[in-house]
Amino acid sequence: MIRLLFAMAWTLLTFCKLFILGTLQYIRASSAEENSPLQVEIKNVTVKASSLSIAWNCNITEEMKKKNYYAQLKNKESRSFPMSLNIQNCSTEFFIHDLKGLTLHEGVYVKITANNKEAENTTWTAFYPEGENQTSAENVSCILYVSLVNCSWDFGKKAPNDTVYSLWLYQDKQTGVECQDYKTNLSTRQMQCSFKAPDIESKSRSYLLVEGSSNTTSILFYGQWIFLAIKEILNPPRNIQVNVSTHGVQMKWQNPETLENDPAECFSYQISLKEDKMQGKNYSVHQDLHYTSNEFSSSQHFELKMRAIRDKICCLTEWSTWSEPFKFDPPVSGSLTHVHLFILLAISTVIAVTGLIYVCHRFQVLTKVFPPVPTPVIKLQSLEQDELKELQEKLHSGSEKQPDNEENIKICEIDNS
């Protein structure tokens, strides 16, 4: 009995083992059938400034023709994305507007798969553009002012001084728009360029390409994907109107002008209202084109300014610069108070008295109106010398007894001759 059970167990174990081996072989066969068309050998990949060319060995079997092939592309640190291939053409070329998000100057990692699945033993292969390292433009940046694009960049660290850079802007076309107005500063090794952009869609992703050429060195190009709308510098609100009354400050304005003429609902505003002897206050306004503030003193002067920002729903920007400050006086009451009348009366009185004193002094009016009383003169020409001497002694002794308020008598000498 024990032997029978052991034999049955061994038979069952052997059957399970054979079943598992058969299943594994079937899976491997199916996988091999699936993966066999994926063995496509890449011959060459050419990385250009605005396109990518891929060529592969064209040993196409009937089984391979039944599969859908894809070129998997990525940068070193980015996620891959598939591009459909016609495997029978043996080569293809992708232009930059098809490769949104891929920066070609850093090099491209490529592999080919079937049915959008990665094959066994298929590895990424890196391909790089021509040009020496550290010769491409650096610190590339662009700013959009309504319909004008201003870009700037630095020379590459190893780029010679005879390097000439050119800037192109690509959108949904195979050909880009070249910048027209270049300015070079060799002392700082910087370049600038500006061009009008009436046909640019600022809210679409654009590819910014800076190519270089030199007589002595192969210059590496530089590419960058940007949204120009994010780099747009807004002007302050337009046509700001301010009305001051006893009820407050009323403001009206128009939204800033932009490349794509965004509606008023896209903007928010900040109003700075500052009084003479108080700290300024900021008021936020969303979407509206008017505002009224009642927080001010009617006896103080005010300064008002505004700035704008485009909201995230319409592609967020930085704050614009402040508008020119509006300085204005508060309304003045039409009737004079008692304090005003008293001040005016005091000032008028001081002015009148000062003028009168000056006139009297200048023309000696008091001397003419009130002439001085002449002092009496006593002439004693007929008196003798002895009598005169006696009279003088009497007068002298009498003057000592006179009160202080009596008039002095002038004594004149008598001429005896």
- Spell out the domain ranges in the chain: 36-127, 138-227, 238-328, 338-368, 373-395+407-417
Q: What is the pLDDT of residue 156?
A: 93
Q: Find, among 300, 299, 296, 245, the residue nearest to 272 by Cα.
A: 296
Distance, in Å, from the CA atom of 162 to the CA atom of 177, rounded to the nearest integer, reads 24
Biggest CA–CA distance in the chain, Å, is: 200
How confident is the prediction along the chain (417 residues), in pLDDT tens digits per residue? 666 666 666 677 776 766 676 666 655 545 544 444 457 888 899 999 989 999 998 888 888 888 888 888 999 878 888 888 888 888 999 998 888 788 899 999 998 888 766 544 568 889 999 999 999 999 999 988 887 889 999 999 999 989 999 999 888 777 788 888 899 888 888 899 988 866 777 778 889 999 999 999 999 999 999 888 888 889 999 999 988 877 778 899 999 988 888 888 999 999 998 876 667 788 899 989 999 888 766 556 778 899 999 998 888 888 999 999 888 765 555 555 667 778 888 898 989 888 888 777 777 766 766 676 666 555 545 545 666 677 667 666 665 555 554 445 444 444 444
Q: Under DSSP, is residue 113 helix (H, G, I), strand (E, B) or coil?
A: strand
Q: What is the pLDDT of residue 314?
A: 86
Q: How many other C-beta atoms lie within 10 A of the C-beta of residue 270?
A: 16
Distance, in Å, from the CA atom of 269 to the CA atom of 285, rounded to the nearest integer, reads 5
238-328: CATH class = mainly beta
* pTM (predicted TM-score): 0.63
User: Is there a common fold for 36-127 and 238-328?
Assistant: yes
Of the candidate CATH numbers 3.20.20.70, 2.60.40.10, 3.40.1670.10, 3.30.70.270, the domain formed by 138-227 belongs to 2.60.40.10
Q: What is the CATH number of domain 36-127?
A: 2.60.40.10
Q: What is the pLDDT of residue 32?
A: 44
| Alpha-carbon torsion (195, 199, 203, 207), positive or negative | negative
* Cα atoms in the 13 Å half-sphere on the side-chain side of 372: 4
Q: What is the pLDDT of residue 6?
A: 60
For residues 380 and 414, is the Cβ–Cβ distance under 8 A?
Answer: yes
Would residue 87 be called left, alpha or beta, if left means φ above 0 and alpha means ψ between -120 and 50 degrees?
Answer: alpha
Q: What is the pLDDT of residue 277?
A: 65
